[in-house]
Amino acid sequence: VIRCRAAVAWAVGKPLSVEEVEVAPPKTGEVRIKIVATGICRTDDHILEGCFPNVDFPVIPGHEGAGIVESIGEGVTSVKPGDKVIPLCLPQCGECSFCLNPESNYCLKCHVSEPQNLLPDKTSRFTCKGKQIHHFLWASTFAEYTVIPEYAVAKIDAAAPLDKVCLLGCGFPTGYGAAINTAKVKPGSTCAVFGVGGVGLSVVMGCKVAGASRIIAVDINKDKFAKAKELGATDCISPRDFKKPIQEVLTEMTGHGVDYSFEVIGHADTMTAALASCNMNTGVCVMVGVPASGSVISIDPMLVLSGRTWKGTLLGGWKMRDSIPKLVSSYLEKKFNSDLLITHTLPIAKVNEGFELLRAGKSIRSILLF
């Protein structure tokens, strides 16, 4: 058993508490990882707000981390102690019908099919003050040590800087892949990105790499526009500057609507606006933002009947265990610069300060270091 620090969420609406926790050794098929760095993602904030379904408290959040294998359980063959790894918040068991489908990146062992509040044997490896602490998406990267099933761990290049590539565990591949894999943005096309936080800016980067000629960033926080332009946005607009609905503004700007729109906020009204802002016949709208549990959208069926495509994306469509090591290699080859998303680096003791920066719209990505 290892004793270490972890940021524990004891209840909804309460700040995280940095505690000493006990982390049990890995069982068969499990890996214990020393987390070196972890990003603060909006989804972690959703847990604290209580709008993420199927999360049991107390829990150790965090799912965008990178670390080093400390020990392995019986039967583990893909990683060994000392390997640099990224925990995967979307597993790839390699055996279910989805994993065996080359066009799917879903896995039936994922949180959407069965809650990942405990490890597959329905027990926790975390205790604190004599209480069992729940896992989150099996990752729980806000703990200095965490235990994860082998099929939710990707071995990465030993040269990778862990305090930078931790973003490749969630935020960056989600946005970048939404443009490249899910929408399949074509060269010369026009795109609109609703919400330019860390994931939205990653969508902008993906659209740029795909060769989009016009990328319109839409956000009510104008402080994010400089970064959006630096990463490839050609136009930046705030819905608050217009008296008419933003979908009408985008349609007027582009003639018939954009070719591709991306909703990276997670609100029902902006999802409808994003759909309406793309070309009525050939437009593709991709849902990237995570809506609050129980959200319902009502739309005019003509929005889709006229030919639009409306689709969702999970982690940017990447088969995570296969793709994350390749994305890390692309990062090392400077094919993209995800470092530009990092605005703050804080010690784990300042985890709540990191969440305050996020909520105030003052950070893109804050990295926590142990």
Residues 51-84: pLDDT tens digits? 877 889 999 999 999 999 999 999 999 999 999 9
Q: Please, what is the end-to-end C-alpha distance for the chain in angstroms?
A: 19
Note the pLDDT of residue 111: 85
Q: Strand pairing of 235-237 and 145-149?
A: unpaired
Note the pLDDT of residue 274: 98
Residue type, 50: G
Note the pLDDT of residue 54: 80
Contact between residue 105 and residue 314 where contact means Cβ atoms under 8 Å apart: yes
Location of structure tokens 């098929």: 29
Among 45, 41, 34, 288, residue whose Cα is nearest residue 162: 34
Note the pLDDT of residue 292: 82
Note the pLDDT of residue 235: 98
CATH numbers and ranges of domains, the chain: 2-171+317-369 (3.90.180.10), 183-312 (3.40.50.720)
Contacts of 13 (CB under 8 A, 6+ apart): 48, 49, 50
Query: Average pLDDT for residues 77-94, to the nearest whole number?
Result: 97
Note the pLDDT of residue 114: 83
Contact between residue 191 and residue 258 where contact means Cβ atoms under 8 Å apart: yes
Angle at CA of residue 351, ends 349 and 356, nearest 5°: 135
Written as one string, the DSSP assignment of 35-58 is EEEEE--HHHHHHHHT-STTPPSS
Residues 188-216: pLDDT tens digits? 999 999 999 999 999 999 999 999 999 99
Residues 112-137: pLDDT tens digits? 888 899 999 999 999 999 999 999 99
Residue 268 has pLDDT above 90, yes or no: yes
Contact between residue 73 and residue 149 where contact means Cβ atoms under 8 Å apart: no
Note the pLDDT of residue 78: 97
In angstroms, the CA 216 to CA 75 distance is 49
Q: Give the tokens for residue 73.
A: 């359980």
Note the pLDDT of residue 16: 98
Q: What is the pTM of this model?
A: 0.96
pLDDT category, 293, cuts 50, 70, 90? confident
Contact between residue 254 and residue 282 where contact means Cβ atoms under 8 Å apart: no
Q: Strand pairing of 30-39 and 65-72?
A: antiparallel
pLDDT category, 319, cuts 50, 70, 90? very high
Contact between residue 220 and residue 237 where contact means Cβ atoms under 8 Å apart: no
Q: Give the tokens for residue 101.
A: 């489908």
Residue 259 has pLDDT above 80, yes or no: yes
Written as one string, the DSSP assignment of 233-300 is -SEEE-GGG-SS-HHHHHHHHHSS-BSEEEE-S--HHHHHHHHHHB-TTT-EEEE-S-PPTT------
Query: Average pLDDT for residues 94-116, to the nearest whole number?
Result: 93
Contact between residue 150 and residue 79 where contact means Cβ atoms under 8 Å apart: yes
- Percent of the chain surpassing pLDDT 70: 100
Note the pLDDT of residue 304: 97
Maximum mean pLDDT: which of 44-53, 256-265, 286-295: 256-265
In angstroms, the CA 369 to CA 20 distance is 16
Residue 358 has pLDDT above 90, yes or no: yes
Query: Average pLDDT for residues 281-299, to the nearest whole number?
Result: 92
Strands (E), 40-186: 65-72, 84-87, 126-128, 131-133, 145-149, 153-155
Residue 23 has pLDDT above 80, yes or no: yes
In angstroms, the CA 212 to CA 206 distance is 9
- CA 181 from centroid of its chain's CA atoms: 15
In angstroms, the CA 49 to CA 52 distance is 8
Average pLDDT along the chain: 96
In angstroms, the CA 18 to CA 45 distance is 16
Tell whether the torsion through CA atoms of 342, 226, 363 and 41 is positive or negative: negative
Note the pLDDT of residue 52: 77
In angstroms, the CA 345 to CA 351 distance is 10
Contact between residue 315 and residue 290 where contact means Cβ atoms under 8 Å apart: no
Residue 248 has pLDDT above 90, yes or no: yes
The secondary structure of residue 89, as a DSSP letter, is S
Residues 336-355: pLDDT tens digits? 999 999 999 999 999 999 99
Note the pLDDT of residue 72: 98
Residue ranges in 65-170 assigned as alpha helix (H): 162-165
